[in-house]
Amino acid sequence: MFVSLVALVAILPVFVNAQSPVYGQCGGKRFQALVGCSAGPTTCAAGSTCTYSNPYYSQCLPGGGTTKTTTTTPVTGPTSTPHTTSTAPGGSQTPDAGNPFLGHNIYLTPFYAAEVAAAAANLTGTTQTKALSVAKIPTFTWFDTVAKVPSLGTYLADASAQGKASGTPMIVEIIVYDLPDRDCAAAASNGEFSIANNGQANYFNYIDQLVAQIKQYPDVRVIAIIEPDSLANLVTNLNVSKCANAQTTYLACVTYAIQQLNKLGNVYSYLDAGHAGWLGWPANLSPAAQLFTSLYKNAGSPSFVRGLATNVANYNSFSTNSPDPITQGNANYDELHYINALAPVLQSAGFPSHFIVDQGRSGVQNIRQQWGDWCNVKGAGFGTRPTTNTGVSLVDAFVWAKPGGECDGTSNTSAARYDYHCGLSDADQPAPEAGTWFQEYFVTLVNNANPPL
Protein backbone atom coordinates (compact mmCIF):
# COMPACT_ATOMS: atom_id res chain seq x y z
CA MET A 1 0.00 0.00 0.00
CA PHE A 2 1.17 3.46 -0.75
CA VAL A 3 0.00 6.87 0.18
CA SER A 4 3.17 8.88 0.19
CA LEU A 5 4.11 12.48 0.35
CA VAL A 6 4.04 12.42 -3.39
CA ALA A 7 0.30 12.35 -2.95
CA LEU A 8 0.41 15.73 -1.35
CA VAL A 9 1.48 17.53 -4.42
CA ALA A 10 -0.51 18.16 -7.51
CA ILE A 11 -0.20 15.79 -10.41
CA LEU A 12 3.13 15.80 -12.10
CA PRO A 13 3.00 13.61 -15.16
CA VAL A 14 6.29 13.16 -16.91
CA PHE A 15 6.52 11.88 -20.43
CA VAL A 16 9.64 12.47 -22.33
CA ASN A 17 8.70 10.71 -25.53
CA ALA A 18 6.88 12.53 -28.28
CA GLN A 19 4.64 9.49 -28.69
CA SER A 20 2.41 8.42 -25.80
CA PRO A 21 1.23 4.83 -25.29
CA VAL A 22 -2.41 3.81 -25.34
CA TYR A 23 -3.95 5.36 -22.21
CA GLY A 24 -0.94 7.62 -21.88
CA GLN A 25 -1.34 11.33 -21.45
CA CYS A 26 -0.88 13.29 -24.65
CA GLY A 27 -1.88 16.80 -23.70
CA GLY A 28 -2.93 19.16 -20.97
CA LYS A 29 -1.59 22.40 -19.62
CA ARG A 30 1.10 21.20 -17.26
CA PHE A 31 1.93 18.27 -19.46
CA GLN A 32 2.56 20.46 -22.46
CA ALA A 33 4.70 22.74 -20.40
CA LEU A 34 6.74 19.78 -19.28
CA VAL A 35 7.27 18.35 -22.72
CA GLY A 36 7.85 21.74 -24.19
CA CYS A 37 4.88 21.79 -26.52
CA SER A 38 3.27 25.10 -27.12
CA ALA A 39 -0.04 23.81 -28.42
CA GLY A 40 -1.80 20.62 -29.40
CA PRO A 41 -1.25 17.08 -28.23
CA THR A 42 1.74 14.91 -28.82
CA THR A 43 1.18 11.87 -30.99
CA CYS A 44 -0.33 8.63 -29.74
CA ALA A 45 0.71 5.05 -30.29
CA ALA A 46 -0.80 3.32 -33.32
CA GLY A 47 -4.42 2.37 -32.78
CA SER A 48 -5.17 5.18 -30.35
CA THR A 49 -6.14 8.80 -30.61
CA CYS A 50 -5.36 11.76 -28.43
CA THR A 51 -8.66 12.67 -26.86
CA TYR A 52 -9.31 15.93 -25.05
CA SER A 53 -10.78 15.55 -21.58
CA ASN A 54 -10.22 18.84 -19.84
CA PRO A 55 -7.69 21.67 -19.99
CA TYR A 56 -5.30 19.64 -17.91
CA TYR A 57 -5.63 16.25 -19.44
CA SER A 58 -5.77 14.64 -22.88
CA GLN A 59 -5.32 10.92 -23.17
CA CYS A 60 -4.50 8.38 -25.88
CA LEU A 61 -7.62 6.29 -26.08
CA PRO A 62 -8.01 3.17 -28.19
CA GLY A 63 -9.56 3.69 -31.58
CA GLY A 64 -9.59 6.48 -34.07
CA GLY A 65 -12.31 8.63 -32.56
CA THR A 66 -11.75 12.32 -32.18
CA THR A 67 -14.35 13.06 -29.56
CA LYS A 68 -14.59 12.56 -25.85
CA THR A 69 -16.86 9.58 -26.39
CA THR A 70 -14.97 6.40 -25.87
CA THR A 71 -15.25 3.08 -27.61
CA THR A 72 -17.16 0.16 -26.15
CA THR A 73 -14.77 -2.29 -27.74
CA PRO A 74 -13.01 -4.25 -25.05
CA VAL A 75 -9.47 -3.08 -24.67
CA THR A 76 -8.04 -6.12 -23.02
CA GLY A 77 -6.88 -9.50 -24.18
CA PRO A 78 -8.51 -11.86 -26.61
CA THR A 79 -10.57 -13.63 -23.98
CA SER A 80 -12.30 -10.41 -23.02
CA THR A 81 -15.82 -9.78 -24.24
CA PRO A 82 -18.10 -6.83 -23.66
CA HIS A 83 -20.41 -7.38 -20.73
CA THR A 84 -23.44 -6.76 -22.88
CA THR A 85 -22.89 -9.94 -24.83
CA SER A 86 -22.17 -12.17 -21.90
CA THR A 87 -24.45 -14.79 -20.53
CA ALA A 88 -24.95 -14.84 -16.83
CA PRO A 89 -24.06 -18.08 -15.09
CA GLY A 90 -26.40 -17.26 -12.29
CA GLY A 91 -27.23 -13.84 -10.97
CA SER A 92 -29.09 -11.19 -12.86
CA GLN A 93 -27.40 -9.07 -15.49
CA THR A 94 -29.22 -6.07 -14.14
CA PRO A 95 -27.94 -4.84 -10.82
CA ASP A 96 -30.42 -4.30 -8.05
CA ALA A 97 -31.38 -0.68 -7.79
CA GLY A 98 -29.92 1.08 -4.81
CA ASN A 99 -27.45 0.17 -2.17
CA PRO A 100 -26.07 -3.36 -2.76
CA PHE A 101 -25.37 -3.86 0.94
CA LEU A 102 -29.04 -3.75 1.86
CA GLY A 103 -31.04 -6.90 2.49
CA HIS A 104 -27.96 -9.03 3.11
CA ASN A 105 -25.82 -10.25 5.96
CA ILE A 106 -22.05 -10.00 5.63
CA TYR A 107 -19.99 -13.15 5.86
CA LEU A 108 -17.29 -13.31 8.53
CA THR A 109 -14.18 -14.67 6.91
CA PRO A 110 -12.74 -17.57 8.91
CA PHE A 111 -9.20 -16.61 7.99
CA TYR A 112 -9.44 -13.30 9.82
CA ALA A 113 -11.39 -14.90 12.65
CA ALA A 114 -8.54 -17.37 13.06
CA GLU A 115 -5.95 -14.60 13.10
CA VAL A 116 -7.93 -12.80 15.77
CA ALA A 117 -8.47 -15.96 17.82
CA ALA A 118 -4.76 -16.72 17.75
CA ALA A 119 -4.00 -13.16 18.81
CA ALA A 120 -6.55 -13.25 21.61
CA ALA A 121 -5.09 -16.49 22.94
CA ASN A 122 -2.05 -14.47 23.93
CA LEU A 123 -4.10 -11.87 25.76
CA THR A 124 -5.96 -11.87 29.04
CA GLY A 125 -8.79 -10.11 30.82
CA THR A 126 -10.82 -7.37 29.19
CA THR A 127 -8.30 -6.90 26.41
CA GLN A 128 -8.82 -10.52 25.44
CA THR A 129 -12.60 -10.15 25.55
CA LYS A 130 -12.46 -7.02 23.43
CA ALA A 131 -10.02 -8.64 21.02
CA LEU A 132 -12.29 -11.63 20.51
CA SER A 133 -15.18 -9.35 19.62
CA VAL A 134 -13.27 -8.13 16.57
CA ALA A 135 -13.78 -11.51 14.92
CA LYS A 136 -17.50 -10.72 14.73
CA ILE A 137 -16.99 -7.52 12.76
CA PRO A 138 -17.14 -7.95 8.97
CA THR A 139 -13.79 -7.26 7.35
CA PHE A 140 -12.76 -7.61 3.70
CA THR A 141 -10.51 -10.47 2.64
CA TRP A 142 -7.57 -9.54 0.44
CA PHE A 143 -6.75 -11.88 -2.41
CA ASP A 144 -3.18 -10.69 -2.67
CA THR A 145 -1.79 -13.85 -4.27
CA VAL A 146 -3.24 -16.27 -6.77
CA ALA A 147 -2.59 -19.10 -4.33
CA LYS A 148 -5.25 -17.70 -2.01
CA VAL A 149 -8.01 -17.79 -4.61
CA PRO A 150 -9.22 -21.35 -3.89
CA SER A 151 -10.07 -20.27 -0.35
CA LEU A 152 -12.67 -17.94 -1.84
CA GLY A 153 -14.58 -21.01 -3.00
CA THR A 154 -14.66 -22.29 0.57
CA TYR A 155 -15.94 -18.97 1.87
CA LEU A 156 -18.60 -18.76 -0.82
CA ALA A 157 -19.83 -22.28 -0.13
CA ASP A 158 -20.02 -21.50 3.54
CA ALA A 159 -21.77 -18.17 2.92
CA SER A 160 -24.23 -19.84 0.57
CA ALA A 161 -25.14 -22.39 3.23
CA GLN A 162 -25.51 -19.68 5.87
CA GLY A 163 -27.74 -17.65 3.59
CA LYS A 164 -29.98 -20.62 2.91
CA ALA A 165 -30.17 -21.50 6.57
CA SER A 166 -31.10 -18.01 7.72
CA GLY A 167 -33.23 -17.01 4.76
CA THR A 168 -31.20 -13.82 4.37
CA PRO A 169 -28.69 -13.86 1.51
CA MET A 170 -25.04 -13.25 2.24
CA ILE A 171 -22.37 -10.88 1.05
CA VAL A 172 -18.73 -11.94 0.79
CA GLU A 173 -16.37 -8.93 0.82
CA ILE A 174 -13.19 -9.27 -1.21
CA ILE A 175 -10.28 -7.12 -2.29
CA VAL A 176 -8.83 -7.80 -5.70
CA TYR A 177 -5.14 -7.07 -5.23
CA ASP A 178 -2.60 -8.78 -7.44
CA LEU A 179 -1.59 -6.42 -10.23
CA PRO A 180 1.74 -6.98 -11.90
CA ASP A 181 4.27 -4.42 -10.64
CA ARG A 182 1.90 -3.81 -7.74
CA ASP A 183 2.38 -0.86 -5.38
CA CYS A 184 4.39 0.92 -8.06
CA ALA A 185 5.25 4.01 -6.02
CA ALA A 186 6.21 2.17 -2.85
CA ALA A 187 7.97 -0.99 -1.80
CA ALA A 188 6.06 -2.53 1.08
CA SER A 189 3.41 -4.37 -0.94
CA ASN A 190 5.24 -5.23 -4.12
CA GLY A 191 3.46 -8.29 -5.45
CA GLU A 192 4.11 -11.65 -7.01
CA PHE A 193 3.72 -10.69 -10.68
CA SER A 194 5.97 -8.53 -12.80
CA ILE A 195 5.09 -6.87 -16.06
CA ALA A 196 8.39 -7.92 -17.55
CA ASN A 197 7.66 -11.55 -16.78
CA ASN A 198 4.26 -12.30 -18.23
CA GLY A 199 2.51 -10.23 -15.59
CA GLN A 200 -0.55 -9.26 -17.57
CA ALA A 201 -1.32 -12.83 -18.61
CA ASN A 202 -0.74 -13.98 -15.05
CA TYR A 203 -3.14 -11.35 -13.81
CA PHE A 204 -5.81 -12.32 -16.33
CA ASN A 205 -5.46 -15.88 -15.09
CA TYR A 206 -5.81 -14.68 -11.49
CA ILE A 207 -9.04 -12.90 -12.41
CA ASP A 208 -10.26 -15.95 -14.34
CA GLN A 209 -9.69 -18.05 -11.22
CA LEU A 210 -11.63 -15.63 -9.04
CA VAL A 211 -14.44 -15.69 -11.60
CA ALA A 212 -14.45 -19.49 -11.70
CA GLN A 213 -15.00 -19.61 -7.95
CA ILE A 214 -17.69 -16.95 -7.83
CA LYS A 215 -19.56 -18.44 -10.79
CA GLN A 216 -20.41 -21.47 -8.71
CA TYR A 217 -22.32 -19.46 -6.10
CA PRO A 218 -24.71 -17.08 -7.85
CA ASP A 219 -26.81 -16.87 -4.69
CA VAL A 220 -24.00 -15.16 -2.80
CA ARG A 221 -23.41 -11.49 -3.45
CA VAL A 222 -19.79 -10.39 -3.70
CA ILE A 223 -18.70 -6.85 -2.94
CA ALA A 224 -15.28 -6.23 -4.46
CA ILE A 225 -12.82 -3.41 -3.97
CA ILE A 226 -10.65 -3.25 -7.03
CA GLU A 227 -6.89 -2.81 -6.70
CA PRO A 228 -6.10 -0.39 -3.90
CA ASP A 229 -3.80 2.46 -4.90
CA SER A 230 -3.44 1.47 -8.54
CA LEU A 231 -5.48 4.14 -10.31
CA ALA A 232 -4.54 6.82 -7.78
CA ASN A 233 -0.92 6.10 -8.60
CA LEU A 234 -1.73 6.68 -12.25
CA VAL A 235 -3.21 10.05 -11.36
CA THR A 236 -0.37 11.43 -9.25
CA ASN A 237 2.68 9.25 -9.52
CA LEU A 238 3.56 8.94 -13.19
CA ASN A 239 6.80 10.69 -12.30
CA VAL A 240 7.79 7.38 -10.68
CA SER A 241 9.19 5.29 -13.49
CA LYS A 242 7.69 2.03 -12.22
CA CYS A 243 4.24 3.65 -12.32
CA ALA A 244 4.76 5.17 -15.75
CA ASN A 245 5.91 1.80 -17.01
CA ALA A 246 2.88 0.12 -15.42
CA GLN A 247 0.28 2.55 -16.70
CA THR A 248 -0.90 0.64 -19.75
CA THR A 249 -0.81 -2.70 -17.95
CA TYR A 250 -2.67 -1.43 -14.89
CA LEU A 251 -5.41 -0.05 -17.12
CA ALA A 252 -5.70 -3.23 -19.15
CA CYS A 253 -5.73 -5.38 -16.00
CA VAL A 254 -8.27 -3.31 -14.09
CA THR A 255 -10.43 -3.19 -17.20
CA TYR A 256 -10.25 -6.95 -17.50
CA ALA A 257 -11.10 -7.37 -13.82
CA ILE A 258 -14.23 -5.24 -13.92
CA GLN A 259 -15.40 -6.70 -17.22
CA GLN A 260 -15.02 -10.29 -16.13
CA LEU A 261 -16.53 -9.74 -12.69
CA ASN A 262 -19.36 -7.83 -14.28
CA LYS A 263 -20.38 -10.81 -16.36
CA LEU A 264 -21.18 -12.79 -13.26
CA GLY A 265 -24.16 -10.70 -12.27
CA ASN A 266 -23.58 -11.03 -8.54
CA VAL A 267 -20.42 -8.96 -8.05
CA TYR A 268 -20.71 -5.28 -7.20
CA SER A 269 -17.40 -3.49 -7.68
CA TYR A 270 -15.94 -0.33 -6.22
CA LEU A 271 -12.73 1.00 -7.74
CA ASP A 272 -10.21 2.18 -5.20
CA ALA A 273 -9.95 5.97 -5.13
CA GLY A 274 -7.20 6.73 -2.63
CA HIS A 275 -8.30 9.13 0.08
CA ALA A 276 -8.83 12.79 0.91
CA GLY A 277 -5.12 13.44 1.35
CA TRP A 278 -4.32 11.96 -2.02
CA LEU A 279 -6.88 12.44 -4.78
CA GLY A 280 -8.83 14.82 -2.55
CA TRP A 281 -6.48 17.70 -3.25
CA PRO A 282 -8.40 20.09 -5.48
CA ALA A 283 -5.93 19.84 -8.35
CA ASN A 284 -6.29 16.05 -8.40
CA LEU A 285 -10.08 15.75 -8.39
CA SER A 286 -10.71 16.39 -12.03
CA PRO A 287 -7.86 14.23 -13.38
CA ALA A 288 -8.98 11.45 -11.05
CA ALA A 289 -12.58 11.64 -12.22
CA GLN A 290 -11.38 11.66 -15.79
CA LEU A 291 -9.29 8.54 -15.29
CA PHE A 292 -12.07 6.61 -13.54
CA THR A 293 -14.54 7.63 -16.20
CA SER A 294 -12.41 6.86 -19.21
CA LEU A 295 -11.51 3.46 -17.80
CA TYR A 296 -15.15 2.72 -17.01
CA LYS A 297 -16.42 3.76 -20.42
CA ASN A 298 -13.67 1.92 -22.25
CA ALA A 299 -14.66 -1.18 -20.32
CA GLY A 300 -18.18 -0.85 -21.73
CA SER A 301 -19.70 0.92 -18.70
CA PRO A 302 -20.04 -2.31 -16.67
CA SER A 303 -23.36 -2.03 -14.91
CA PHE A 304 -22.17 -3.68 -11.69
CA VAL A 305 -19.47 -1.11 -11.11
CA ARG A 306 -21.17 0.71 -8.30
CA GLY A 307 -18.64 3.44 -7.55
CA LEU A 308 -15.50 4.06 -5.56
CA ALA A 309 -13.88 2.90 -2.32
CA THR A 310 -11.99 5.49 -0.31
CA ASN A 311 -9.59 5.52 2.64
CA VAL A 312 -8.72 1.84 2.16
CA ALA A 313 -6.10 0.93 4.78
CA ASN A 314 -5.80 4.60 5.69
CA TYR A 315 -6.64 6.46 8.89
CA ASN A 316 -8.75 9.43 7.86
CA SER A 317 -11.85 10.47 9.65
CA PHE A 318 -15.09 10.21 7.66
CA SER A 319 -16.33 13.54 8.94
CA THR A 320 -14.88 15.78 11.58
CA ASN A 321 -15.45 19.24 12.99
CA SER A 322 -11.85 19.56 14.08
CA PRO A 323 -9.55 18.79 11.16
CA ASP A 324 -6.30 17.06 11.96
CA PRO A 325 -3.52 19.70 11.67
CA ILE A 326 -1.76 17.58 9.05
CA THR A 327 -4.66 18.19 6.65
CA GLN A 328 -4.19 21.94 6.64
CA GLY A 329 -4.23 23.48 3.23
CA ASN A 330 -6.78 21.05 1.85
CA ALA A 331 -10.41 22.10 2.07
CA ASN A 332 -11.19 18.40 1.67
CA TYR A 333 -9.77 17.50 5.05
CA ASP A 334 -11.90 14.40 5.63
CA GLU A 335 -13.45 11.68 3.49
CA LEU A 336 -16.88 13.31 3.35
CA HIS A 337 -15.46 16.56 2.01
CA TYR A 338 -13.46 14.57 -0.52
CA ILE A 339 -16.50 12.59 -1.61
CA ASN A 340 -18.70 15.65 -1.84
CA ALA A 341 -16.08 17.35 -3.98
CA LEU A 342 -15.49 14.37 -6.25
CA ALA A 343 -19.06 13.21 -6.77
CA PRO A 344 -20.28 16.11 -8.92
CA VAL A 345 -17.25 15.78 -11.19
CA LEU A 346 -17.91 12.07 -11.55
CA GLN A 347 -21.58 12.60 -12.18
CA SER A 348 -21.00 15.10 -14.94
CA ALA A 349 -18.45 12.76 -16.48
CA GLY A 350 -20.85 9.81 -16.38
CA PHE A 351 -19.27 7.65 -13.69
CA PRO A 352 -21.51 6.02 -11.05
CA SER A 353 -20.83 8.01 -7.94
CA HIS A 354 -21.51 5.82 -4.95
CA PHE A 355 -18.95 5.24 -2.28
CA ILE A 356 -17.81 2.96 0.47
CA VAL A 357 -15.38 4.28 3.05
CA ASP A 358 -12.91 2.28 5.13
CA GLN A 359 -13.16 3.28 8.78
CA GLY A 360 -11.49 0.19 10.21
CA ARG A 361 -8.45 2.01 11.60
CA SER A 362 -9.80 5.56 11.79
CA GLY A 363 -10.82 5.58 15.44
CA VAL A 364 -8.08 7.94 16.59
CA GLN A 365 -7.07 11.13 14.81
CA ASN A 366 -4.07 13.49 15.10
CA ILE A 367 -1.57 10.64 15.25
CA ARG A 368 0.39 11.27 12.07
CA GLN A 369 3.24 13.67 11.49
CA GLN A 370 2.41 13.96 7.80
CA TRP A 371 -0.80 13.17 5.97
CA GLY A 372 1.17 10.93 3.65
CA ASP A 373 2.25 8.62 6.49
CA TRP A 374 0.51 5.31 5.95
CA CYS A 375 2.56 2.56 7.53
CA ASN A 376 1.44 1.07 10.86
CA VAL A 377 0.79 4.51 12.29
CA LYS A 378 1.30 4.47 16.03
CA GLY A 379 -1.64 5.02 18.30
CA ALA A 380 -4.33 4.06 15.79
CA GLY A 381 -7.59 2.53 16.96
CA PHE A 382 -10.37 0.53 15.39
CA GLY A 383 -13.01 2.93 14.12
CA THR A 384 -16.69 3.18 13.31
CA ARG A 385 -18.24 -0.25 12.78
CA PRO A 386 -19.37 -1.32 9.33
CA THR A 387 -22.82 0.06 8.68
CA THR A 388 -25.11 1.27 5.96
CA ASN A 389 -26.30 4.03 8.27
CA THR A 390 -23.88 6.55 6.89
CA GLY A 391 -26.17 9.55 6.96
CA VAL A 392 -25.12 10.38 3.42
CA SER A 393 -26.91 9.06 0.37
CA LEU A 394 -23.71 9.03 -1.68
CA VAL A 395 -22.13 6.62 0.78
CA ASP A 396 -23.43 3.07 0.63
CA ALA A 397 -21.52 1.87 3.66
CA PHE A 398 -18.71 2.34 6.11
CA VAL A 399 -16.61 -0.79 5.84
CA TRP A 400 -13.56 -2.35 7.40
CA ALA A 401 -11.32 -2.96 4.41
CA LYS A 402 -7.89 -3.39 5.99
CA PRO A 403 -7.96 -6.32 8.39
CA GLY A 404 -6.80 -4.61 11.56
CA GLY A 405 -3.74 -6.38 12.91
CA GLU A 406 -2.35 -7.27 9.50
CA CYS A 407 0.78 -5.27 8.88
CA ASP A 408 1.24 -2.48 6.33
CA GLY A 409 4.93 -3.12 5.76
CA THR A 410 8.14 -4.30 7.34
CA SER A 411 10.41 -2.02 9.33
CA ASN A 412 13.39 -4.23 8.57
CA THR A 413 15.64 -1.93 6.57
CA SER A 414 17.40 -4.83 4.89
CA ALA A 415 14.21 -6.48 3.63
CA ALA A 416 13.52 -6.35 -0.10
CA ARG A 417 10.13 -4.74 0.54
CA TYR A 418 11.34 -2.19 3.08
CA ASP A 419 9.71 1.17 2.52
CA TYR A 420 11.02 4.18 4.41
CA HIS A 421 7.52 5.09 5.58
CA CYS A 422 7.65 1.99 7.79
CA GLY A 423 10.75 3.35 9.50
CA LEU A 424 9.36 6.81 10.27
CA SER A 425 9.04 7.87 13.87
CA ASP A 426 5.24 7.66 13.73
CA ALA A 427 5.37 4.09 12.39
CA ASP A 428 5.06 1.29 14.95
CA GLN A 429 8.23 -0.85 15.07
CA PRO A 430 9.51 -3.49 14.82
CA ALA A 431 6.99 -4.45 12.17
CA PRO A 432 6.81 -7.69 10.14
CA GLU A 433 6.11 -8.04 6.40
CA ALA A 434 3.00 -6.48 4.89
CA GLY A 435 -0.07 -8.64 5.31
CA THR A 436 1.38 -10.73 8.12
CA TRP A 437 0.12 -10.51 11.68
CA PHE A 438 1.42 -7.69 13.83
CA GLN A 439 0.35 -8.54 17.34
CA GLU A 440 1.46 -5.40 19.10
CA TYR A 441 -0.35 -3.27 16.52
CA PHE A 442 -3.53 -5.30 16.87
CA VAL A 443 -3.49 -4.78 20.63
CA THR A 444 -3.09 -1.05 20.10
CA LEU A 445 -6.08 -1.01 17.74
CA VAL A 446 -8.12 -2.94 20.28
CA ASN A 447 -7.21 -0.72 23.22
CA ASN A 448 -7.73 2.50 21.26
CA ALA A 449 -10.94 1.47 19.53
CA ASN A 450 -13.37 4.34 19.11
CA PRO A 451 -16.15 3.60 19.80
CA PRO A 452 -14.71 1.18 22.34
CA LEU A 453 -15.08 -2.53 21.69
Give the residue ranges of the annotated binding site.
142, 144, 275, 278, 314, 374, 402, 406
Task: Report CA Rg, the chain.
Answer: 21
Asked if residue 119 lies in contact with residue 131, where contact means CB atoms within 8 angstroms, the answer is yes
Q: How many CB atoms lie within 10 A of CB 290?
A: 23
Q: CB-wise, 402 or 421, nearer to ligand BGC?
A: 402
Q: CB-wise, 300 or 358, nearer to ligand BGC?
A: 358
Q: Interface with ligand BGC includes 275 (CB under 6 A)? A: no
Q: Interface with ligand BGC includes 434 (CB under 6 A)? A: yes
Residue 184 CB, shortest distance to ligand BGC, in Å, is 13
| Helix (H) or strand (E) segment spanning residue 58 | strand 57-62
d(CA 316, CA 17): 38
Cβ-proximal residue to ligand BGC, closest one:
435
Reply yes or no on whether 229 is catalytic.
yes
Residue 405 CB, shortest distance to ligand BGC, in Å, is 9
Asked if residue 42 lies in contact with residue 26, where contact means CB atoms within 8 angstroms, the answer is yes
Q: CB-wise, 144 or 158, nearer to ligand BGC?
A: 144
Stretch that binds ligand BGC, among 54-62, 360-368, 401-409, 423-431 (CB under 6 A): 401-409
- Cβ burial 347-383 (10 Å sphere, 16+ → b, else e): eebebbbbbbbbbbbbbbbebbeebbbbbbbbbbbbb
Look at residues 202, 188, 84, 95 and name the one whose alpha carbon lies nearest to residue 149: 202
**What DSSP string runs through 288-305?**
HHHHHHHHHHHTT--TTE
Give the orientation angle of helix 439-447 with respect to helix 110-120, to 10 degrees: 90
DSSP state of 82: -
d(CA 355, CA 310): 7
Stretch that binds ligand BGC, among 63-71, 232-240, 293-301, 402-410 (CB under 6 A): 402-410
* Residue of 35, 402, 421, 441 that binds ligand BGC (CB under 6 A): 402
Catalytic residue among 178, 181, 183, 229: 229
Q: Interface with ligand BGC includes 15 (CB under 6 A)? A: no
Reply yes or no on whether 419 is catalytic.
no
* Residue of 307, 381, 403, 432 that binds ligand BGC (CB under 6 A): 403
Residue 111 CB, shortest distance to ligand BGC, in Å, is 10
Q: Interface with ligand BGC includes 312 (CB under 6 A)? A: no
Residue 125 CB, shortest distance to ligand BGC, in Å, is 27
Q: Interface with ligand BGC includes 274 (CB under 6 A)? A: no
- Site of interaction with ligand BGC (CB under 6 A): 1, 142, 144, 189, 402-403, 406, 408, 434-435
